[in-house]
């Protein structure tokens, strides 16, 4: 059904209340831009015909659209004369006669695909449909004026009568129009108001004057939350995180303290994964079943196999790949590295640009010296190798399978399989030196 529909997304607002050089719609929630969320929801609803209305000189917004929805087109709104005026910038697409049209906003990021589909289905039998919500405090919101099940008007708060202001069913902004009449409805919207602007909500009264019926659908207030400043951005983030946590927990993930776990829009977590308190999961993370992520760990751009253990206080940076049963312990940082099955790095280590073989053990305090100030180099540790504590592996270097590296070594050359490498200064002891030194300096004790 929806492949014959048109989605128009309004994203030309300057967002001055954000106090930011970045366009409002590019501010992120759950690791994805607000506009990206809307584009994704539209595509998940089966709508591929998408027009996004953007402001002038907004190459950054256009680039985000191309990245998230490559088939979408953009049109530029240079004058801002109201929401209906913005929608009419998609006149060419409207004139092609889509089956239905849905209008969304780039700063209303939490709308779900099913809600978009509901709106589109509503105009199968109505000229227009608006999305509303019940507000605890309706002050400032437009009111949906109903006559039984028929929507008869949307009245802005400032224009509403005292009786209408008592209505708690409020305008959520999103609207759908029946495709055959959409352009005619939009063209008849006037600007006879204090701001001299063309308002999309007036489409309801225009549609009724044309003899068309209008419907109102209800959504949760959080789903239609608009973001105009950083406070509302934080509120939207909180709602979105709650949604993500509940979704994953219902799919078999245990969260010890859910309110302290932060996820990303693309986080993939298998069943029987346990996530302890104060864990942050950035974009690009997948975790297979049976794994435990311990407290205060930070993951981004990482894949983690089954039955692994990460943390506490571990950091996995982009390009990290942990295979099954890997253990990454406290204060270990991994970057652009693969750890084979049952490999271990249990304490206080940095592993960067490396390949760690299955069953290898990385001792406490080990670091891979992967950067010489200009270029990055790789370290390869073979299967079953044992790297002693406080070792430095100076890349490029290979440690053979089953080899041992003595604690405190600085390894600058390859180590053969099965060999022992020790690279540290020989210990020298001088009996009586300390007492003589102390006496010569006139001290009985050191403080």
- Please name the residues in contact with 121: beta carbons below 8 A apart, sequence gap of 6 or more: 1
Return phi, psi of residue 7, to 5°. -110, 130
Catalytic choice (37, 89, 181, 347): 347
Q: For 160-214, give the secondary structure using H, E and C.
A: CCHHHHCCCEEEEEEEEEEHHHHHHHHHCCCCCCCCCCCCHHHHHHHHHHCCCCE
Does 347 participate in catalysis according to the annotation?
yes
Q: How many CB atoms lie within 10 A of CB 66?
A: 12
DSSP character at residue 425: P
Computed over its alpha carbons, how large is the radius of gyration of the chain? 30
Report the distance separating Cα 109 and Cα 414, nearest Å: 53
DSSP character at residue 57: T
- Please name the residues in contact with 284: beta carbons below 8 A apart, sequence gap of 6 or more: 264, 266, 300, 301, 302, 318
Report the distance separating Cα 344 and Cα 328, nearest Å: 6
In the block, residue with structure tokens 């708060």: 157
Q: How many CB atoms lie within 10 A of CB 262?
A: 18
The closest of 119, 238, 229, 239 to 174, measured between CA atoms, is 119
* Residues with a known catalytic role: 347
């Amino acid at each position: 059904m929806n492949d014959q529909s048109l989605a128009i997304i309004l994203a030309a607002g300057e967002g001055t209340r954000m106090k930011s050089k970045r366009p409002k719609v590019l501010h992120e929630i759950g690791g994805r831009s607000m506009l990206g969320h809307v584009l994704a929801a539209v595509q998940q609803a089966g709508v591929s015909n998408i027009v996004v209305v953007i402001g002038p000189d907004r190459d950054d917004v256009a680039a985000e659209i191309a990245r998230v929805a490559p088939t979408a087109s953009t049109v530029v709104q240079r004058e801002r004369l109201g929401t209906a005026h913005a929608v009419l910038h998609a006149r060419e697409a409207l004139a092609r006669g889509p089956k239905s049209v849905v209008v969304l906003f780039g700063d209303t990021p939490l709308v779900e695909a099913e809600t978009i589909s509901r709106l589109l289905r509503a105009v199968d039998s109505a000229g227009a449909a608006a999305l509303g919500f019940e507000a605890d405090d309706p002050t400032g919101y437009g009111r949906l004026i109903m006559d039984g099940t028929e929507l008869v008007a949307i009245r802005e708060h400032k224009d509403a009568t005292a009786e209408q202001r008592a209505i708690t069913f409020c305008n959520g902004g999103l609207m759908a129009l029946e495709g055959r009449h959409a352009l005619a409805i939009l063209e008849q919207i006037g600007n006879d108001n204090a701001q001299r602007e063309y308002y999309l909500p007036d489409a309801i009264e225009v549609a009724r004057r044309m003899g068309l019926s209008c419907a109102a659908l209800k959504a949760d207030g959080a789903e239609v939350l608009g973001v105009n400043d950083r406070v509302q951005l934080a509120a939207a983030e909180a709602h979105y995180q709650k949604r993500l946590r509940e979704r994953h927990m219902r799919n078999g993930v245990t969260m010890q303290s859910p309110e302290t776990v932060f996820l990303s829009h693309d986080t993939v977590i298998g069943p029987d994964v346990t996530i302890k308190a104060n864990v942050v999961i950035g974009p690009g993370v997948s975790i297979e079943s049976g794994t435990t992520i311990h407290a205060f760990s930070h993951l981004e751009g990482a894949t983690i196999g089954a039955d692994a253990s990460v943390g506490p206080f571990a950091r996995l940076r982009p390009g990290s790949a942990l295979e099954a049963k890997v253990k990454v312990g406290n204060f270990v940082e991994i970057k652009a590295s693969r750890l084979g099955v049952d490999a271990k790095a249990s304490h206080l280590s940095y592993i960067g640009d490396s390949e760690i073989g299955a069953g290898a053990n990385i001792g406490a305090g080990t670091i891979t010296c992967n950067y010489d100030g200009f270029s990055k180099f790789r370290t390869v540790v073979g299967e079953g190798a044992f790297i002693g504590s406080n070792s430095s592996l100076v890349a490029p270097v290979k440690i053979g399978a089953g080899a041992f590296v003595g604690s405190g070594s600085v390894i600058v050359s390859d180590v053969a399989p099965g060999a022992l490498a020790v690279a540290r200064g020989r210990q020298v002891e001088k009996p009586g030196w300390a007492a003589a030194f102390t006496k010569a300096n006139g001290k009985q004790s050191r403080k």
